[in-house]
Chains A and B, each alone.
Chain A
Amino acid sequence: MMIQRTSEFFRRLAIGIGLAGLVSFPTLILCHGYISVHADTPTLSSPSGGDCQACHKSTMVPADHPKTSGMAMPDCIACHKQETPSLGNRMPLSHTHLLNGVVCRDCHAEIDPAGYVDKGTCMTCHKPQDLLIATRDVRPANPHDSHYGPELDCDLCHHVHAPSENFCNQCHAFGFTIPSPIIIR
């Protein structure tokens, strides 16, 4: 579905490339020169830093917010700790990855269409044994130490370009939330 939309985007892009003024520059020039995201999804402007305002205008970032262009994730976290509005459950994983210097190509071998990513790709950075420890106190059950074992597909819960979901809850009714992502529109 998303993939088809990407193709449609390319078709429209080919026709309308000369009319680039219709679409703001940052939404066309994307991560590392690849136009890989969906026409209606706001995107970050560069892999090295997030120019939030370029996509989100003033609806997402307060007018008096420091200029974010050039900032990376550590810069965001410097202010957005627990006390101030937390970014943890607000920023999509696509954003947090990019702000941490992980660009589209790092996960998607093919950009068009950018298919689903295998868990092995996630595990090059995120080690199952570390996750198991990180969530050992989550109640009523450690989601990374379930009857399915430690090597489930990450994308069952953690979606990078869509709202995450609690896979356990297809059978259980666990109260914990997946730390991430509502898509910011």
Chain B
Amino acid sequence: MTDESGHGKGALTRRGFLKTTGGAALAGVAAGGLFNVPQKAFGADMPNNWDEQVDVVVVGSGFAGLAAAIEAKQAGASVLVLEKMRVPGGNSIINGGVFAVAGSAKQEAEGIKDSPELLLADMLKAGLNLNHVQLAKLVAEKSREAVEWTQSLGVEYREKVVHLGGHSVPRSWSTHNSSGSAIVQKQIEKTKQLGIEIRLQSFLTAIIQDASGRVVGVKVREKYRFPAQDSGTVKHIKANKALVLAAGGFSADMYFRTLQDPTLTEKVDTTNQPGATAEVLLEALRIGSTPVQISWIQLGPWTSPDEKGMGVGYVFNAMAGFVEGVMVDPTTGKRFINELADRKIRSDAIFRTGHPSVTIADSRGVKGVHNLERSLEVGVVKKFDTIESLAAEYKIPPVALQETINLWNGFVEQRKDEQFDRYMQKDQQTIAVGPFYACRCWPKVHHTMGGVQINDKAQVIGLNRKPVPGLYAAGEVTGGVHGAVRLGSCAVTDCIVFGRIAGQHAAKA
């Protein structure tokens, strides 16, 4: 970089920046793969003057970023949180608000036996043993401590744990509003109390290293207006101690996600907010962070084609249809998969049928669906007096559907699913008491398991197999914790556990 006036019209655009400094690197990616990228000389981006300095810069204002910011500040560091969007919270603030906790008092109260070892085993099974075990183990072991930390911030949870797909037992805590916003809002409150600034519309365009390769700061565009790459003004912020990357995944990055999984074209919707894009991940790779399992991209099976994005119907599917009811293929009226299998197994099974499936629960099964009224109002969940009228609406063969329900009800009475061996809830009830409710399912892109490699201190590991000095990462921007498939409610746990670890170590870096 030669011209670094930094402000106003003279500032180089991101595209210009790539052309002048990273063009060779990009050509390297195209021609020889990531590992042959010619590294830029360390210190090449160093500005003559820093506009501002702070001990710890955190990129991203979701669960992980805010947890890191709070811990770093409490450990004595000055902290600045950068968020590229015009709203805080990233995907976390629109997330479903379920938190995997292994071995809690809530479980004990219901007589459910659980342990960190069992959660780890579940994570490894769903993750096809691609998980970096040391990282996954930390998440399982610290899950209880992590949820208690959020309680100390004032986050309220429902009384009963919920059972999500792929977990051996019900263990997930659900926030009082079934939304991650319940956690993020309390984290934001805490940052205000601690005097931590969350600076919106601040977009990271370069990670700056000194001559030794230590990360010493960032180049950002302030007053940035997503997605206009050239908007805002360039500023250089020095990170005296460390930079924490908590920028999330890339489910909404059409270019990069289709590059990793060409089947996930624009025809497949996403649950993610529009800012779930890959720029920070790519910048971390550009400076030599090690990529881990970037092409494992997860679809959520509980989303509905009858609404945009995450929508509201997932609550009915996850809390009622898959747990208290059944899911059927509308052309046959039959169940086709264990409704509590992991997300990949369910999503793949739905895709294999070639059309949206239908979940069904009765009036007793919907008790945990806090947003039922809104879901009915939006029209994504529908209500019927009889199974016949439900079958007619979705063009399901009515006799076959009634047979499926009778079969399931028999399994419930004998407390054994002889068809798919689905877990029986302690208070599992039959599907028998109207009105009946139903929702269509069609998977949407939900989570990107891969990202940069980290160690148990949340240090980013470089291609030289050593930690990149001054660089930490946590949450969806990292890879390894979840392996091939993330279990539902493990993302929140991962983000809080590693966000806190990153903040604690960054403050001492």
Contact = CB atoms under 8 A, between A and B. Distances in A.
Contacts of B93: 147-148
Interface string B171-185: 000000101010001
Interface stretch (B305-313, B421-429, B473-481, B494-502): B305-313
Given A139-B377, A171-B309, A147 B273 contact: no
A156 B310 contact: no
Contact of B179 (A147, A156, A172): A147
A182 to B, nearest CB: 22
Residue of B179, B185, B308 with most chain A CB atoms under a 10 A cut-off: B308
A135 B363 CA distance: 31
A139 B377 CA distance: 9
B311 A172 contact: yes
A147 B308 contact: no
B7 interface: no
Interface in B36-95: 86-89, 93-94
B213 interface: no
B274 interface: yes
A116 B308 contact: no
Given A147-B177, A156-B87, A170-B274, A141 B374 contact: yes
Dominant SS at the B interface?
Answer: loop
B147 to A, nearest CB: 20
Given A139-B377, A140-B374, A116 B87 contact: no
Contacts of B273: 170-171
Given A171-B308, A172-B311, A140 B179 contact: no
Contacts of B179: 147
A116 B86 CA distance: 12
Interface residues of B, number: 24
B96 to A, nearest CB: 11
Contact of B308 (A149, A153, A172): A172
B433 interface: no
Interface string A134-156: 00000111000001110011001
Contacts of A149: 181, 185, 188
A148 B86 CA distance: 11
Interface string A83-113: 0000000000000000000000000000000
Contacts of B308: 169, 171-173
Nearest to A147: B181
Contacts of B200: 153
A179 B160 CA distance: 41
B457 interface: no
A47 B88 CA distance: 36
Given A171-B309, A171-B310, A173-B308, A148 B87 contact: yes
A174 B88 CA distance: 21
A172 B307 contact: yes
Interface string A157-176: 00000000000011111000
B378 interface: yes
Contacts of A116: 223
A135 to B, nearest CB: 15
Specify which of A153, A171, A172 lies most central, judged by the most chain B CB atoms within 10 Å of its CB. A171
A152 B85 CA distance: 12
A153 B88 CA distance: 10
A60 B94 CA distance: 42
A172 B310 CA distance: 8
Contacts of A153: 86-87, 200
Given A147-B177, A171-B273, A140 B87 contact: no
Contact of B307 (A147, A152, A156, A173): A173
B94 A147 contact: yes
Nearest to A116: B223
A13 to B, nearest CB: 21
B185 A171 contact: no
A35 B463 CA distance: 57
A171 B94 contact: yes
A153 B86 CA distance: 7
A74 to B, nearest CB: 34
A176 to B, nearest CB: 12
Interface of B: 86-89, 93-94, 177, 179, 181, 185, 188, 200, 223, 273-274, 307-312, 374, 377-378
Given A115-B223, A139-B377, 5 more contacts: A141-B374, A147-B181, A172-B308, A173-B308, A173-B378
24 contacts: A115-B223, A116-B223, A140-B374, A140-B377, A140-B378, A141-B374, A147-B93, A147-B94, A147-B181, A148-B87, A148-B93, A148-B181, A149-B185, A149-B188, A152-B87, A153-B86, A153-B87, A156-B86, A170-B273, A171-B94, A171-B273, A171-B311, A172-B308, A173-B307
